[in-house]
Amino acid sequence: MDHIQMIEETRKWVKNQLAEEKTGHDWYHINRVTKQAQEIAKIEGADDLIVTLAALTHDLIDDKVVASEEKGLKNVEDWLVTIGTTEDQRKQILTIITTMSFKGGTNKPVTTLEAQVVQDADRLDALGAIGIARTFVYAGSKGDPMYDPTLSIRETLTLDEYRNGRSSAIGHFYEKLLKLKDLMNTDEGKSRALERHQFLEDFLSQFLEEWGQD
Ligand code: ADP
Ligand code: NI
């Protein structure tokens, strides 16, 4: 298979597996992240095949999406063998998808340019209008309120608190979203994040103004 076919077959394979996905890791998220990652890769000079395959598969090892990270990884690895990637390419892709998630900010920074690009693209999708919408959908699916003024806003959480603590959609802005612009890796990622970050700030001010005093 040539690179175009490898990407096309992987798109179909991933889309199929995310058909029932409702936690904000749906196919449209993957598609947006992949497009954005490919654009940034071109500007930053990262390897297109590695970036594209990692972006397409990055959520297939998330335990919100699959039974366990281990099973998810095996599934992705087997697929990458099927489409004829080299061992070195597989190693790069699997390293990217296992190291890039936010995990409450507790994860180590990623090191390769390709990983930086995919992580930036994923983070951009957590910002801006789409990021706000995803946050409210996710909070709703967990049974969290959109906002609860009695919950104190905490910006530093352990992984367990980040995952299991009581929060709200607005709380998530402080726990994660507002931090992302300073965590972007590439120059192009940073510049794309700024506009979306400003949109979050504007949304928050308007939201809290409309909420008024308790
Ligand atoms: P990804 O790695 O694809 O960004 P996550 O699993 O971290 O995905 O989250 C999916 C979406 O839901 C993101 O937009 C994220 O900001 C949002 N999200 C994650 N955790 C929460 C939460 N506790 N409350 C509200 N939104 C959340
Ligand atoms: Ni993602």
* CATH code for the domain in which residue 56 is found: 1.10.3210.50
Please check the confidence at residue 182 and state whether its pLDDT lies above 60: yes
How many angstroms does the Cα of residue 52 sit away from the middle of ligand 2?
A: 13
What pLDDT does residue 102 have? Answer: 64
* Test site for ligand 1: of 134, 137, 175, 184, most ligand atoms within 8 A of the Cβ: 134
The CB of 122 under 6 Å from ligand 1? The reply is yes
The finding on whether 10 has its CB within 6 A of some atom of ligand 1 is no
What residue has token string 């490919």? 38
- The pLDDT confidence band at residue 25, using thresholds 50, 70 and 90, is confident
pLDDT given at position 209: 95
Q: Are 154 and 93 a contacting pair, CB within 8 Å?
A: no
Do the beta carbons of residue 54 and residue 80 sit within 8 Å?
no
> Token pair of 94, please?
């699997």
Task: Flag whether the pTM goes above 0.90.
Answer: yes
Cα separation, 110 vs 157, whole angstroms? 20
For the record, the structure tokens of 148 come out as 């609860």
Domain count, the chain: 1
Alpha carbon nearest to ligand 1 atom 17, residue? 135
Ligand 2 centroid distance, CA of 213 (Å): 35
54 lines ligand 1 (CB under 6 A): no
The number of the ligand nearest the C-alpha atom of 162 reads 1
Domain span at residue 163 reads 3-211
- CB of 70 within 8 A of CB of 98? no
Lowest average pLDDT, out of 82-86, 139-143, 174-178, 210-214, goes to 210-214
The predicted complex's ipTM stands at 0.95
Torsion of CA 34, 35, 39, 44, to 10 degrees: -10
Closest ligand to residue 101's CA: 1
Residues 115, 37: Cα–Cα separation, whole Å: 10
Euclidean distance between CA atoms 16 and 10, whole angstroms: 10
Question: pLDDT digits over 55-103, tens only?
Answer: 999 999 988 778 888 999 999 999 999 999 999 999 999 999 999 876 6
